[in-house]
Chains A and B, each alone.
Chain A
Amino acid sequence: MKGYSVFSLVRNAFSGHRHWNPVWRTPKLRKSYDIVIIGAGGHGLATAYYLASKHGIRNIAVLDKGLIGGGNTGRNTQVTRSNYFWPQSAAFFDHSLKLYENLSRDLNFNVMLSQRGVLTLAHSHHELESLRQRANAIQINGVDSEVMTPAEIKKLVPLLNMSARHPVLGGFIQRRAGISRHDAVAWAYARAADAYGVDIIQQCEVEGFDINDGRIAGLQTTQGKISADKVSIAVAGHTSIMTAKAGFRVPVTSMALQAMVSEPIKPCLDTMVASSAIHMYASQSDRGEIVLGAGADVYTSYAQRGGIPLLEENVSALLELLPAFSRLKLNRQWAGIVDITPDTTPIMGKTPVKNLYISGGWGTGGYKAIPAGGDTMAYTIANDNAHPLIEDFGLERFEIGALIDEGSSSGVAH
């Protein structure tokens, strides 16, 4: 796929930008598809793209009750990293980061990946030990990770308050980690999938599944019934609602993950900073806003709106570490609904219903997983067999008790 370049931009500038093509079509829903993907967020779109580009399947629909990238894909804090503790997680997320590194060129759409590093801080001797344990795990997993002294940290982030209530005693950085532009990721995949003939149907809600003898046959939607050989669910915070329609339960709790941004100022924070003792993470977007977040309201919620307690907590944490921001003003707060699993590891692969697949339980970490999530789900759907990278992420791990508990060792989740 081609079309976007500095040359095309200049050429179109001379014709008043009147000749650009639509980024995607607005197709009509057909009666039958080989594969239907529910959810036109990053994961659903990426899955469709890789099914078309790597597995040669083109008769695909991606349905969404709302808009392309209108859910968590367009609400997160845009962080991409692979500094995970467990080897399975590290391998998966590093695959994702590697795909991200080439995504703008692969999809001919600039997703503005900025590998400016994610610095994780330690504030006590015990935290230093856990941090060393994690940094070593990451190195052994073959992912870049450097332990830093307080002096090195201060040099990297001059605004940091080293003698905060919990002093900064050390940290580690993954330099390849960074941020990118979330909307662009959804749009880039949508455009690329559309170019392969994938039908992206917006404002089409799935109301039920047609299941014959334990095997998926089709879907009931607000735009009518359709038949499908295979169906995959990628609906983030609404995963359990969708699986309930298919007759099975998944171990997720949906919660409102909070985020907020300041007014835009000139560059002053070049690295993303994360801390768990002083619970927050912050980065500066290319537009100049300080983007911050830390946690979800700890109760079941489908309300995509911000609240007061985490607003106060996150901002106090930010100012405790970066007091220079106290006179800056907060512009906006919002929330996205994330589905959190007991072990904070996603649920991917096959389901109790034959030919129905799931990619959910992304919790607070779905955005960074989009390329690998799409790639491995495409493989899984095409072969009806879990991709090697996601073999341990299946739903069955809860029954046997083989959890992959990233929460047991990771710092701030995001």
Chain B
Amino acid sequence: MNQPFRTEDSGRIDRSRPLKFTFNGKTLQGFSGDTLASALLANGIRVVSRSFKFHRPRGVLSAGAEEPNALVAVDIGNGMLPIVRATQMPLIGGLRAESQNCFPTVGFDLLRILDYTRALWPAGFYNKTFKWPNWHAFEWAVRRTAGLGRLPSGTDVTRYCHMNAHCDVLVVGTGSAGLKAALNAARAGEDVLIVEQDRVAGGTLLYDRAAIDGTAPDVWLEDTMSELNARDNVRVMLSATAAGYYDHNVLTIHDRSSAYRRENPVEIFWKVRASRVVLATGTIEQPLVFGNNDLPGIMLASAMHQYANRYGVLCGRRVVGVVNNDLAWHSLFGLLDAGTDVSSIIDSRPSVDDQLVKLAHDRGIEVNFGATPVRAGGSGTVKGLVYLDANGRTENIACDAIAMSGGMSPVMHLYSQAGGKLRYDAELACFLPQACRQPVSVAGSANGEFAVTCTYNIGSRKRSPAKTSTQWIDFLHDVTASDVELAVRENYHSVEHLKRYTTVGMAVDQGKTSNLNALTLLGELTGRTPGETGTTTFRPMYTPVTMGAIAGNRQGDFYQPAKRLPAHDWHAEMDAEFEDYGGWDRPAYYGHDREASIANESLIVREAVGLFDGSPLGKIEVKGPDAAEFLNRIYVNTVPSLKPGKIRYGLMLTENGIVMDDGVFVRLADEHFLINTTSGHADSIVSWLEEWHQCEWPNLDLVVLPVTSQWAVATVAGPKARDVLQALPGMVDLSTECLPHMSIASGAFADGTQYRIQRVSFTGELSYELNVPADHASEIFDRIWKIGQVHGIGLFGVESLMVLRLEKGFLHVGVDTDGTSNPIDIGFGKIVANKKGDFVGARSLMRAEDQRTDRRQLIGFELDVRGDTVLPGAHIVTGSGADRRTEGFVTSACNSPTLGKTIGLGLLESGYERKGKTITLYDDGRIVSARVVDACFYDPSGERMRG
């Protein structure tokens, strides 16, 4: 297939491997080694996209990461990916590309009307209008015209993962400066990691023919890369962009080296911890600002140079150079040497070095000094250039491409992200690194060392006399010089206000080709140097990073992975319905009918016996001579008086006196305690104890040992609980004489398995918690289940446990208490009053506010009308309509299967005083009436659990 702008033979492309692709439905051909942009240019495609705001036709501007125009939608087998930089997208056989932001076609876009009427849409127009009747009336239209691409449809087939690396030296960039730094470090024996965003190492060496240390660049590159690749202490990552530079020399790398394949594509997000970093990130050539400087066919001079020498693509038949520095002349000579007709150079400087002029004349290039570009001619693409010569005469040259250069801007993004301060160098007319607190150095042209292979000599940027509303500064956001003028006129003087008001530099390219021009103009208009205006802040990402890669594999089951019970599979076989409780997958109930199962399970426990998996219950051992004293300072309840083998209920507070956790604590021996926490707090209470021990009372002699996952807990509850468990061979005597309520025993089963058995009850029935080593969990559940059959045993899940404990009036911390509840509010006032000595939170309870009697206090209630229901979360209210006021809320409620009525717990203002009173419950507009009662609805004397 014909590629009209392809050279005969030059370039680093593989002409033996032609690749077909489509652009806007048209089939085209390029070569292996092309980018999508080089292939489009080779085929003479000039208009590749429409701009964001005004839908102006735009063509390729650059050859790299800075591209503001050639952002297209690309399909390589994973949906139509939006906003892909054609200049960085490797050409792949079968690739489908489409222009974005245009309707019906990129050649004819109806919304160009916005361009023709753009006097109406200056910077910040939306701040001045669209206020009546309100913004909502206009927003839908604005939203629809905004947005660059479309969300891809279908399922994402790319796999994403995170990787980590450490190194002595991280080198970013593989131009000559980066490779030299890498080589020096490698030869010194340092562990070196080299990162390059391009798919080939080399940077400007890939197209600039100037010699490096007397050696031809391609030879030097090959030699250097072979030495680096041969070394064990060097790793080279290609197609990998250093996206962010964070604290403590940690950088993120977006690795796309396996992303562009049809089979099993992978993107990797690396975190690299480097002892030091060398940034050899090079420069970005800046556009010149003149009339219609955004026309397709106007490109950066170095980009044209690169397309010619690296890709064998000529960007025009007749090129005019519009420049202000020596480096750009060098690019233009390179272009001409590659076969482009460079007819003339328009240079704004009054004169240049004679040697350069001679080189130009030798090549037959006409040179014009002291000349100012006015405007580019042409409508769809560039057709010519109007300029003022040194004598102020207007001249016109015909051309089909303009190579422009407004000078070089070192890539300071990562340096700045690292906390590096920049300084403005007036001679080089750019920002350079000054100082950074992190161990980072900047090498090569990124450090302002432009004049390695030739001189730089940048001249000042001359203002073009064209209408400023036709001079484009930010191509991607359609910001013109007149927008900057408007911002200054309206006193948006600072660079940060300018950015936010005009949106210059706020697009997805973060102003890589616009910021310097914008703040230079801002400086001119306000009488400041760019050094005085300063830059806006550089932020990660250097170029945008796929969100899938940032998330890595933390998706689905790997997003906050659930904890599973040791007997999970056994419960699954028993038809458990699992739900998440504090990060654990636990049986909510067994069977399929939620309501019926919960009621049945509750009744079985009340009437016969139930089996419950309590393994997630927090279990922490506290051991040492000072264990009792330590726990006494942690619990509201008194600890030292507890006898070995006995169990007591305890409440823990925050230092602000708020109820934090509850559970029983067990004295296993004089200096050995086992404490139980709620399952959701198993980890945080360990931290809590460690913090108090290590930071506040390090002189107390004890250790804290979390053992939650060591022990599985089979809770057997119900009138027949003892009958079932006593039948296990090796079980200790469970009679009340030997093991009364709130005591513990331990023993071993016939097979030698050690166990502990606690007699405690959260259901109100006779109840035992049998602790066995976790790897015996399924076995012990199965044995209890089989033995229990003759007693009518049933399984019960968390939901029926909640019903049973509510009937008994046992509170559930975090459900029946909130972040304001102190122990006095939930009925522990006496215990607080009787406690001797200080404990965590004690002082806070002495504040008058904590002692108030009108606080929200825990109460029980019953609904007045049988058959009425209420859900937790309903509020207790007074008044109605606008005067309705909340006095508290329902924390727990259920239709009690045992009692045949709806009961609940709640937090109610002055609740203790209101026993017997009627209260009004409000839920989403519905009102029910209830009566305050004792917060224990079932077996208030506790005979059943003590018996």
Instruction: Name A's B-contacting residues (CB within 8 A).
Output: 4-6, 8-10, 13-14, 16-18, 20-26, 67-68, 70, 74, 87, 104-105, 108-115, 123-126, 128-137, 139-142, 147, 164-166, 181, 183-184, 187-188, 202, 262-268, 278, 286-288, 303, 305-308, 311-312, 315-320, 323-334, 342, 400-403, 405, 407-409
Q: Are the C-beta atoms of B874 and A136 separated by less than 8 Å?
A: yes
Q: Are the C-beta atoms of B874 and A325 separated by less than 8 Å?
A: no
Q: Is B247 an interface residue (CB 8 A)?
A: yes
Q: Are the C-beta atoms of A22 and B489 separated by less than 8 Å?
A: yes
Which residues of chain A have C-beta atoms less than 8 A from B579's C-beta?
Answer: 124-125
Q: Are the C-beta atoms of A147 and B924 separated by less than 8 Å?
A: yes
Q: Which residue of B lies closest to A103 (CB)?
A: B131
Which residues of chain B have C-beta atoms less than 8 A from A22's C-beta?
Answer: 489-491
Q: For the complex, give the distance between the alpha carbons of A151 and B580 in Å.
A: 21
Q: Which residue of A lies closest to B247 (CB)?
A: A307
Interface segment, one of B286-294, B549-557, B618-626, B909-917: B549-557
Which residues of chain B have C-beta atoms less than 8 A from A331's C-beta?
Answer: 508, 510, 541, 544
Q: Are the C-beta atoms of B143 and A140 separated by less than 8 Å?
A: no
Which residues of chain B have C-beta atoms less than 8 A from A323's C-beta?
Answer: 156, 555
Q: For the complex, give the distance between the alpha carbons of A405 and B658 in Å.
A: 11
Which residue in A113, A265, A267, A303 is a CB contact (below 8 Å) of B135? A113
CB of A94, distance to nearest CB on chain B (Å): 13
Q: For the complex, give the distance between the alpha carbons of A288 and B506 in Å.
A: 13
Q: Are the C-beta atoms of A8 and B873 separated by less than 8 Å?
A: no
Known interface pairs A266-B149, A316-B559. Does A17 touch B482 (Cβ–Cβ under 8 Å)? yes
Q: Is B31 an interface residue (CB 8 A)?
A: no
Q: Are the C-beta atoms of A142 and B873 separated by less than 8 Å?
A: no
Q: Are the C-beta atoms of A407 and B128 separated by less than 8 Å?
A: no
Q: Are the C-beta atoms of A18 and B489 separated by less than 8 Å?
A: yes
B83-108 to A contact mask, C-beta < 8 Å, 1/0: 10000000000000000000000000
Q: Is B461 an interface residue (CB 8 A)?
A: no
Q: For the complex, give the distance between the alpha carbons of A6 and B491 in Å.
A: 21
Which residues of chain B have C-beta atoms less than 8 A from A135's C-beta?
Answer: 873, 924
Q: Are the C-beta atoms of B146 and A286 separated by less than 8 Å?
A: yes
Q: Which residue of B lies closest to A7 (CB)?
A: B129
Which residues of chain A have C-beta atoms less than 8 A from B78's C-beta?
Answer: 327
Q: Which residue of B lies closest to A12 (CB)?
A: B122
Q: Which residue of B lies closest to A278 (CB)?
A: B559
Which residues of chain A have C-beta atoms less than 8 A from B884's C-beta?
Answer: 140
Q: Which residue of A lies closest to B79 (CB)?
A: A327
Q: For the complex, give the distance between the alpha carbons of A124 and B815 in Å.
A: 13
B855-898 to A contact mask, C-beta < 8 Å, 1/0: 00000000000000001111101000010111001100000000
Q: Are the C-beta atoms of A330 and B539 separated by less than 8 Å?
A: no
Which residues of chain B have C-beta atoms less than 8 A from A401's C-beta?
Answer: 656-657, 844, 847, 849-850
Q: Are the C-beta atoms of A409 and B819 separated by less than 8 Å?
A: yes
Which residues of chain A have C-beta atoms less than 8 A from B126's C-beta?
Answer: 110, 112
Which residues of chain B have C-beta atoms less than 8 A from A326's C-beta?
Answer: 156, 158, 160, 546-548, 551
Which residues of chain B have C-beta atoms less than 8 A from A330's C-beta?
Answer: 541, 544-547, 550
Q: Which residue of B lies closest to A344 (CB)?
A: B819
Q: For the complex, give the distance between the alpha carbons of A55 and B545 in Å.
A: 50
Q: For the complex, give the distance between the alpha carbons of A208 and B702 in Å.
A: 49
| Max chain B Cβ within 10 angstroms of own Cβ: one of A70, A74, A324 | A324
CB of A133, distance to nearest CB on chain B (Å): 4
Q: Which B124-179 residues have a C-beta within 8 angstroms of A?
A: 125-132, 134-136, 139, 142-144, 146-152, 156, 158, 160, 162
Interface segment, one of B492-500, B609-617, B768-776, B928-936: B492-500
Give 29 pairs: A residue, B residue, CB < 8 Å, sorted on A. A4-B129, A9-B125, A21-B490, A23-B490, A67-B496, A110-B127, A124-B580, A131-B873, A132-B923, A136-B873, A136-B923, A136-B924, A140-B875, A183-B500, A262-B544, A264-B147, A265-B150, A286-B143, A307-B246, A307-B247, A312-B162, A312-B551, A316-B554, A316-B555, A329-B545, A332-B539, A333-B244, A333-B539, A401-B657
Q: For the complex, give the distance between the alpha carbons of A139 and B539 in Å.
A: 41
Q: Is B818 an interface residue (CB 8 A)?
A: yes
Q: Are the C-beta atoms of B129 and A9 separated by less than 8 Å?
A: yes
Q: Are the C-beta atoms of A20 and B541 separated by less than 8 Å?
A: no
Q: For the complex, give the distance between the alpha carbons of A14 and B469 in Å.
A: 13
Q: For the complex, give the distance between the alpha carbons of A328 and B84 in Å.
A: 10
Known interface pairs A17-B482, A70-B496, A132-B871. Does A139 touch B489 (Cβ–Cβ under 8 Å)? no
B904-947 to A contact mask, C-beta < 8 Å, 1/0: 00000000000000000011110000000000000000000000
How many residues on chain B are close to A (CB under 8 Å)?
107
Chain A to chain B: the 3 pairs with minimum beta-carbon distance, closest first? A408-B819, A132-B873, A288-B147
A sample of 12 more A-B contacts (CB under 8 A), given A67-B494, A74-B500, A268-B151, is A67-B496, A104-B134, A278-B559, A306-B540, A308-B252, A315-B550, A325-B151, A327-B547, A329-B545, A330-B541, A330-B547, A405-B818
Which residue in B546, B818, B850 is a CB contact (below 8 Å) of A408? B818
B109-130 to A contact mask, C-beta < 8 Å, 1/0: 0000000000110100111111
Instruction: Name B's A-contacting residues (CB within 8 A).
Output: 52, 78-79, 81-83, 119-120, 122, 125-132, 134-136, 139, 142-144, 146-152, 156, 158, 160, 162, 244, 246-247, 250, 252, 271, 417, 469, 482, 486, 489-494, 496-497, 500-501, 508, 510, 537, 539-541, 544-548, 550-552, 554-557, 559-560, 562, 579-581, 588, 656-657, 815, 818-820, 844, 847-850, 871-875, 877, 882, 884-886, 889-890, 922-925
Known interface pairs A136-B889, A319-B555. Does A4 touch B139 (Cβ–Cβ under 8 Å)? no
Q: Are the C-beta atoms of B156 and A327 separated by less than 8 Å?
A: yes
Q: For the complex, give the distance between the alpha carbons of A166 and B489 in Å.
A: 53
Which residues of chain B have C-beta atoms less than 8 A from A140's C-beta?
Answer: 875, 877, 884-886, 922
Q: For the complex, give the distance between the alpha carbons of A405 and B555 in Å.
A: 32
Q: Are the C-beta atoms of B136 and A114 separated by less than 8 Å?
A: yes
Q: For the complex, give the distance between the alpha carbons of A9 and B120 in Å.
A: 7
Q: Are the C-beta atoms of A17 and B545 separated by less than 8 Å?
A: no
Which residues of chain B have C-beta atoms less than 8 A from A21's C-beta?
Answer: 490
Known interface pairs A319-B551, A408-B820. Does A9 touch B135 (Cβ–Cβ under 8 Å)? no
Q: Are the C-beta atoms of A5 and B491 separated by less than 8 Å?
A: no
CB of B849, distance to nearest CB on chain A (Å): 4
CB of A304, distance to nearest CB on chain B (Å): 8
CB of A223, distance to nearest CB on chain B (Å): 17
Which residues of chain B have C-beta atoms less than 8 A from A332's C-beta?
Answer: 510, 539-541
Which residues of chain A have C-beta atoms less than 8 A from B132's C-beta?
Answer: 105
Which residues of chain A have C-beta atoms less than 8 A from B500's C-beta?
Answer: 74, 183
Q: For the complex, give the distance between the alpha carbons of A400 and B581 in Å.
A: 36
Q: Are the C-beta atoms of A263 and B151 separated by less than 8 Å?
A: no
CB of B149, distance to nearest CB on chain A (Å): 5
Q: For the complex, give the distance between the alpha carbons of A125 and B586 in Å.
A: 13
Q: For the complex, give the distance between the alpha carbons of A112 and B820 in Å.
A: 38
Q: Which residue of B lies closest to A102 (CB)?
A: B134
Q: Are the C-beta atoms of B551 and A288 separated by less than 8 Å?
A: no
CB of A191, distance to nearest CB on chain B (Å): 9
Q: For the complex, give the distance between the alpha carbons of A320 and B556 in Å.
A: 7
Known interface pairs A263-B83, A315-B551. Does A184 touch B556 (Cβ–Cβ under 8 Å)? no
| Max chain B Cβ within 10 angstroms of own Cβ: one of A137, A263, A329 | A329
Q: For the complex, give the distance between the alpha carbons of A114 and B490 in Å.
A: 26
CB of B110, distance to nearest CB on chain A (Å): 16
Q: Which residue of B lies closest to A326 (CB)?
A: B548
Q: For the complex, give the distance between the alpha carbons of A202 and B491 in Å.
A: 12
| Max chain B Cβ within 10 angstroms of own Cβ: one of A8, A25, A123, A266 | A266
